[in-house]
Amino acid sequence: MSVQVLYFARFRETLGVDSEAVEGAYLTIRALREFLVLRGGVWQVLAERNLMCARNEELCQLDEPLEPGDEVAFFPPVTGG
């Protein structure tokens, strides 16, 4: 199974990458995130508690199930003023 992962804002800057195809069988976005965090180093930024995510351009929770070919986006919370 492959999913396309997009990184936005501070995550993109910290990781030095804006997207990648990730191979593996991840049942949920949480499982995918845990895999990415285990890379260590700068990838720890994805362990943030308030991380936001989307699946196929729809905001969702970390327990959202994944299907082959899905697009997952990770981004920090949006603040406005």
HSE of 25, CA atoms in CB hemisphere, 13 A? 0
User: Is the whole-model pTM more than 0.75?
Assistant: yes
Q: Is 81 a domain residue? A: no
Rg from Cα positions in the chain: 12
Q: How does pLDDT run across 36-68, given as a tens digit for each residue? A: 999 999 999 999 999 999 999 999 999 999 999
Helices (H) and strands (E) in the chain, counts: 2, 5
Check residue 74 and give left, alpha or beta (phi > 0: left; psi -120 to 50: alpha): beta
Q: Is 37 a domain residue? A: yes
Provide the number of structural domains found in the chain.
1
Q: Is 69 a domain residue? A: yes
**Over residues 3-19, mean pLDDT:** 97
- Structural domain range at position 36: 2-75
**CATH label of the domain that carries residue 66:** 3.10.20.30
